[in-house]
Amino acid sequence: MAMAGSGLGAIVVTGGGRGIGAATARLAAQRGYAVCVNYRLQREAAEAVVGEIVAGGGRAIAVAGDVAVEREVLRLFEACEEALGTPVGLVNNAGVLETQARLEEMALERWQRVFATNVFGAFLCAREAVRRMSTRHGGSGGSIVNVSSGAARSGSPGEYIDYAASKGALDTMNVGLARELAQEGIRVNAVRPGFIYTELHASGGEPGRVERVKSRVPLQRGGTPEEVARAIVWLLSDEASYTTGAFLDVTGGPIG
């Protein structure tokens, strides 16, 4: 994997050990970013991503941390600053979902777990990024990309409406934060992946879910993490310099 060096500055990719996060870390490194690969449990996977980037001439570190825990988020950003420099970008990618169920079968503890990571974790990471990147705080600007989901629009009935609702909250944060930071050098955008071949579906109890639902996709197939990563890295980059508060659907077409 050829690298372009790390001249574009450092970015933090949460949930970067596998799936969309790992693909984003690899592509961002190819494009010239130094990458802080955050993970919660998948240490070997995250270190493998870092090893691949470093072997190709890029700069990267793996940092453990649960984004739902404030002190661990603080440590994540401190580690990035110490090893790679002040971040110029954040990819809010860490997310969880639980076994498919109807609302009446769900417990409060489940909702608390889902929202702790998917909503509060994203808020915590965005807060720390803003404190470092905003010109209001002496920073030089930057870019935040929130990884939402097509579920925010479909609602995922009968499967995981709690996950869908958490992504809906992220969509609202995306709009508000983009407006809040527009004059402080920070762009905020979101990517909404559709049915993507990742391990996340196994967490919902159906590893082969994409195969079951792909007929609903106009392109008649599931997407790859790399296809989502291209959208994320574009939004991170100066090529998207006049884009903020936007949503880029990577769903293979409008899904009814």
Catalytic annotation, residues? 163
- DSSP class of residue 118? I
Query: Cα(167)–Cα(148) distance, rounded to whole angstroms?
Result: 5
The 10 Å CB-count burial string (b at 16+, else e) for 29-59 is bbbebbbbbbbbebeebbbbbbebbeeeebb
The 10 Å CB-count burial string (b at 16+, else e) for 194-207 is bbbbbebbebbeee
- Alpha helices per DSSP H over 85-134: 108-115, 122-133
What burial class does residue 169 get, using C-beta atoms within 10 Å of its C-beta: 0-12 exposed, 13-18 middle, 19+ buried?
Answer: middle
